[in-house]
Structure 1
């Protein structure tokens, strides 16, 4: 069967809440705050070009911010940047700042399998990244079932199906969003052992999913390099809230002035199929 990696931020949140509980009950008279080391501030470029099937894909958004200390309640937004994307035909798409840190293009033209290059100039530094727009197979259908959890309790499970192309290796990133989820749940899939067949992908969330909930499924086609990058990112977020990566997880965004002063993030272009399912 296909290889599937499931990740969510629930374990991180639960671990963090458990730690807070321990700190609270162990000291009723004073607030305990860990002295965490502050690293070098870096730019974060959130550049996902996502083309939903059935749309023109002409409106796209790129967000630029900075890393912040752990206890900060806000994320510093980066204004005044110059942002553009150029395709391999030489067509240039300008992203204009609409609100602080948010840059919007309203005339983007997505073409499957075409190369695009992102260029960002911000705070005296220039960044570039190149990626191909990757296609996705549409979701054929969504079903639901009742399964048993580890305690033998009945829980609802959703299953969606799609036909994997036989002439290539494919990689997929799916996220699930709903009112019962604090954070989206992410799932990585590749077709190494299931190439050219119908793939069934399953989603459940203990006993939180109830009839009447709406689950939004976003199913993306992604490149192998982005698959590997997300695999590392999600492994880190799936652990302790205080876990430290073995090293800086670099994306494909390169600083052309100083390669060591790279930006966090990954420029990716994905075709996507989106389905909203009403749980029965």
Structure 2
């Protein structure tokens, strides 16, 4: 009897393996677009003079091209009040840098990128951020009462609309945790914000934080416009499957003034940021 069942299982295994069909998925190919990664982040305690803007071209999802850097563009950021221009010089592979940027909280700046005869512009105001006052760890604040989480504490400014971006990257992980928030229900209060990683039951990989893990934390003050943008990006990155359609086109603030239909991806932002590191005990 045991031999009989073994033969049935072997037959089913062979039958299922022989029924595999190759499925050709007809994917739509969108036109290649300029991608502008223009995040000018002024870390507290530094001059903020060293800044980098990256330009590249978008590619189809399954394209294996790795060198998509744009090398022949003009990149300038201008202080809208006094007209000071900061020219970003190409360094190779799409990276444009300056060592002379002057960040001023509350100041409006304009980005201008000229590429292949077309001009892209964006405007943003440099947003401040408060300090991180305390960092603690526990197993009480997160979704699971068995996993470690870390909590940062900060006090939101009174009588202001504030928007925040949190980035927590455990060393060794491929991707960081990105979360956005605002002070709609906590204006002027001391706010705790916690990060947690839960175990993945489908794999053997330890997802949850462990004693000895090192977490790099970045805390940004961001504008309302960028908050709306990054909120959509975070939501879609967590909930869109491989073959699902994108529910909302993720458009940034970079406008093509020559040919509006040929818009660019990406966002021009100016933020103040606090960076710190925490080691789990």
Please indicate, yes or no, whether the TM-score normalized by the shorter chain is above 0.5: yes
**TM-score, structure 2 normalization:** 0.85
Counterparts of 1:26 and 1:71, CA distance in 2: 26
Runs of 4+ in 1 over 4 A off after TM superposition: 25-33
Change (3 A) 1:215 1:118: same
SS of residue matched to 2:158: coil
Distance (Å, rounded) in 1 between the aligned partners of 2:231 and 2:151: 22
Cα distance in 1 for partners of 2:261, 2:104 equals: 32
Cα shift at 1:34: 3.2
Q: Quick one: structure 1 residues 211 and 194, their matched pair in 2 at CA, closer, same or farther if it must change by over 3 Å?
A: same
The answer for the alignment partner of 2:186 in structure 1 is 194
Match for residue 88 of structure 2? Answer: 95
- Given that residues 146 and 156 in structure 1 are in contact (C-alpha distance below 8 angstroms), is that contact kept between their aligned partners in structure 2? yes
Following superposition, the deviation at residue 31 of structure 1 comes to 6.6
Match of 2:254 in 1: 253
TM-score (norm 1): 0.85
CA change 1:149–1:127 in 2 (3 A) is closer
- Quickly say closer, same or farther: Cα 1:61–1:30, change in 2 above 3 A: farther
Q: Do the aligned partners of 2:179 and 2:234 also contact (CA within 8 Å) in 1?
A: no
Structure 1 pair 27–47 and aligned structure 2 pair: CA distance change class (3 A): farther
Choose between structure 1 and 2 for higher RCO, CA contacts under 8 A separated by at least 6 residues: 1
Q: Tell me if 1:61 matches 2:52.
A: yes
* 1:245 shift after superposition: 2.5
Structure 2 residues without counterparts, runs of 5 or longer: 1-15, 200-207
Cα distance between partner residues in 1 of 2:17 and 2:251:
39
* 1:165 has 2:157 as partner: yes
* Contact 1:86/1:93 (<8 A) preserved: yes
Q: Kindly provide the CA deviation profile for residues 62-110 of structure 1, in whole angstroms up to 9, marking residues without a partner as x.
A: 0011110111232511111100100021110010011220000111000
Which SS does the other structure have where 1:155 is aligned?
A: coil
- How far apart are the structure 2 equivalents of 1:242 and 1:30? 18
Residues 144 and 27 (structure 1), Cα distance of their counterparts in 2 relative to 1, 3 Å cut: farther
- Cα distance in 2 between the residues matched to 1:115 and 1:29: 58
Rg (Cα) greater in structure = 2
| 1:209/1:27 CA distance change after superposition, 3 Å | farther
2:216 aligned partner? 216
The CA distance in 2 between the partners of 1:78 and 1:168, in whole Å, is: 39
Superposition RMSD on alpha carbons, in Å?
2.0
